[in-house]
Amino acid sequence: MPAAPARPLAQLAAPLVAGELFDLVPDAVFFVKDRHGRYTAVNQTLVERCGRRSKADLLGRTVADVFPADLAARYAEQDAAVLTRGAAVVNKLELHLYPTRKPGWCLTTKLPVRDAAGRIAGLAGLSRDLHVGGDSGAVPAPLVATVEYLQAHFADALTPAALAARAALPPAKFTRLTKRLLGLTPGQLILQTRLQAAAQRLRDSDDAVAHIAHACGFYDHSAFTRHFKAATGLAPLAYRQSVRA
């Protein structure tokens, strides 16, 4: 008799092995979710930060069941984008729960998981802490403050040079820092923040696309549409229709 195909066993075992592996990395949160956004595999770090006793307490639950409402809404929006359109989230700077149960900065990546037919069956994700402290690998406090400022004032006429000035760093050094720690240039960071804000408004409001573009810092409607389609694969109105379908 021919040997049984290895794919099903690998698909079942991989999340479990990865979860056990990431149990040994206390500053990283690992998770796998099904197509409904329910946890199917997690590491111990996520269990502890959600205030649960065991992995079984998270399995089958969604972010709305285990995170504060403001964080859960953001995570659910990300999950929907990955699960409905296959839109990967790569090294997104965002807030997560730190061991103290207080929000702290992390870099999050979420990738779609597909079945043998190529259909999206779930997602796998990893969130890595960005520590502010005195060690050489830490994120400098001025950078964190500057990113927080950007996320609150993305609609302003911001430039990479203006962000560097807020961080009290020469533009070239600021660019090297954001590239090394965040994987983005300052210009890319500004663009990504504005596009994320625009995506949320497209989903949550019926405002005209031109109004949303302007409110999110884009003063050229055609440029906004071009950037948005490049990032999501959909024009703004098509994106709105897809997330509301």
Q: Do residue 58 and residue 97 come from a single domain?
A: yes
Q: Is residue 134 part of a domain?
A: no
Residues 96 and 13 in one domain: yes
- 232: domain CATH number is 1.10.10.60
Domain count, the chain: 2
Of 66, 98, 129, the residue that ends a domain is 129
Last residue of a domain, one of 81, 108, 129: 129
Answer whether residue 97 shows pLDDT above 90.
Answer: no
Point out which residues pair with 92 in neighbouring strands.
108
Within a domain: 136: no
- Note whether 199 and 160 are same-domain residues: yes
Per-residue confidence (pLDDT) for residue 21, from 0 to 100: 83
* 39 and 114 both lie in a single domain: yes
Mean pLDDT calculated for residue range 129-158: 75
Tell me: pLDDT of 93 over 80.
no
Reported as a single tens digit per residue, the pLDDT across 218-240 is 989 999 999 988 877 789 998 88
Residue 114 placed within a domain: yes
Instruction: List Cβ neighbours of 21 (8 Å cut-off, separation of 6 or more).
Output: none
Residues 102 and 68 in one domain: yes
pLDDT of residue 164: 95
Same domain for 59 and 23:
yes
226, 230, 236, 242 alpha-carbon torsion, rounded to 10°: 160
Inform me whether the pLDDT recorded for 9 exceeds 70: no
Q: Which domain holds residue 190?
A: 141-244
Signed CA dihedral, 79, 85, 86, 91: sign only: negative
CA distance 134 to 215: 38
Please check whether residue 96 lies inside any domain of the structure.
Answer: yes
Mean pLDDT of 168-191: 88
* pLDDT exceeds cutoff 60 at 11: no
Contact between 40 and 33 (Cβ < 8 Å): yes
Does the pTM of the predicted model rise above 0.85?
no
The pLDDT assigned to 16 comes to: 59
